[in-house]
Structure 1
Amino acid sequence: MSRPVRIAPSILSADFSKLGEEIRAIDAAGADYIHIDVMDGHFVPNITLGAPIVKALRPHTEKTFDTHLMISPVDPFLDDFAAAGCDIITIHPEAGPHSHRTVQHIKSLGKKAGIVLNPATPASTVDYLMDMVDLILVMSVNPGFGGQSFIMNQLDKIRELRAKIDASGREIDLQVDGGINFDTAPLAIEAGANVLVAGTATFVGGPEKYAENIRRLRGD
């Protein structure tokens, strides 16, 4: 079944000295979502940015802010990121004791909710969240750093999740993040993904290449 593919450039690979300008550039180049990786140096071995920076970036685009929270504990920060302008808030089940309650809270804030599966986290983790989540994110690398290589066995997980989503009858985005480039993007799409997060592959070559890079990733 053919489904529209959306591209979510990860600003983790953007020039942090001019993030607003970079976001405007990928918006103009045809990005569907703006993917924001939030890392705390605790849940993952890196530190990126917090809610005040997200708030400062919000005026630069009307595109969906797709925010992946790699922080633990995650619950105390949900309100801040919602208030900062995030449209989708995606959390790891390992980042708090009650992921069902966490997803409920995100929805109560008027935001779309996502759940992230690390490479070793099984697809069955989402079984009792399928009636609530708007997005399932498969990490095809271990979270924490950009520029890693795609873990090929995650394609089986993508296929398994696509079957679960189709069986649910709900509109749930199936997103893949990690090692997405011009070679691996078609594999993820074939397996059933409809949203691709791409950092390095989007931003390589500078602003004059962003539109071409996005088109190639989408398969246009």
Structure 2
Amino acid sequence: MSLDRSIKIAPSILSADFANFGQEIEAIEAEGCDWVHVDVMDGHFVPNLTFGPPLVKAIRKHIKTVMDVHLMIAPVDPYIDAFADAGADVLTAHLEAGPHIHRTLQAIRGAGCKAGLALNPGTGVGDVAHLLDMVDLICVMTVNPGFGGQKFIHSQVDKVKTLREMIGDRPIHIEIDGGITTETAPLMAAAGADVLVAGSAVFTGGSVSNPAPYGQNIRAIRDVAEAARAR
């Protein structure tokens, strides 16, 4: 996974048809998505329960792009190897999920994955400064983690601008997760983000038997984000 600053759309399979994950993934990739975002929730760190390593391993063979696995779990460290072995390309852990995030990021890289660091809406950027050389991606949550379909929290736009300045020329992606639509994507692209996670905004209106709307939705988000960045 080489770093470039082009806009990347990462549909969250949390909004896909759970009975047809393989076909859904193949459909969104055929329709032009860049990454596939997998939200892992434990019912403890966040108030929802989703996928474990066996599911991640099962869908890996359907993913030809980048498998972006977001661990909304605590503790994180005991599960890093299992998700790495399941085929994750990027493993993202939350700054708030444990007391030793530096060790966690080391472990993720040690397992052969790109290391992501996620920040909840209420978390500032001060603690990130000493971790920048440990991360390949910073995921800014623009909703409180746990459920799809929530309303975008606008205060996070300034957080992204600050992170963009802190990162400088380091090879670090800025990913946005939560409430991305054609209205909010331009705000984040202009602020400095390059990876946009979108769930319902991609999957609404389509299905495995009618995937064309997926492509229309992906292109619409990408177009407005790229236009905002070009201004």
What TM-score range do you get, normalising by the shorter chain?
over 0.9
2:228 paired with 1:216: no
Partner of 2:178: 178
Q: Superposed, which structure 2 residues align to 1:16-95 within 5 Å?
A: 16-95=18-97
2:157 paired with 1:155: yes
SS in 1 for 2:130: coil
Taking the aligned partners of 1:196 and 1:81, their CA distance within structure 2 comes to 22
How far the C-alpha of 1:93 sits from its partner, in A, is 1.6
SS in 1 for 2:201: helix
Partner of 1:204: 204
Partner of 2:229: none
Residue of structure 1 aligned with 2:120, choices 118, 121, 124 = 118
Taking the aligned partners of 1:164 and 1:86, their CA distance within structure 2 comes to 27
The total of aligned residue pairs comes to 217
Residue of structure 2 aligned with 1:134, choices 129, 133, 136 = 136
SS in 1 for 2:91: strand
TM-score normalised by L of structure 1: 0.96
How far the C-alpha of 1:78 sits from its partner, in A, is 0.3
How far the C-alpha of 1:165 sits from its partner, in A, is 1.1
Structure 1 residues not aligned, in runs of 5+: none
CA-atom RMSD in angstroms: 1.1
2:11 paired with 1:9: yes
> Partner letter of residue 27 of structure 1?
E
TM-score normalised by L of structure 2: 0.92
How far the C-alpha of 1:123 sits from its partner, in A, is 1.2
How far the C-alpha of 1:5 sits from its partner, in A, is 0.3
Q: 4+ residue stretches of structure 1 with deviation over 4 A?
A: none
2:111 paired with 1:105: no
Taking the aligned partners of 2:5 and 2:52, their CA distance within structure 1 comes to 33
Identity of aligned residues (%): 59
How far the C-alpha of 1:3 sits from its partner, in A, is 3.9
SS in 2 for 1:142: coil
Taking the aligned partners of 1:16 and 1:181, their CA distance within structure 2 comes to 22
Q: Does structure 1 conserve the Cα–Cα contact (< 8 Å) formed by 2:96 and 2:119?
A: no
Taking the aligned partners of 1:148 and 1:203, their CA distance within structure 2 comes to 15
Taking the aligned partners of 1:3 and 1:72, their CA distance within structure 2 comes to 31
Change (3 A) 1:151 1:43: same
> Partner letter of residue 107 of structure 2?
H
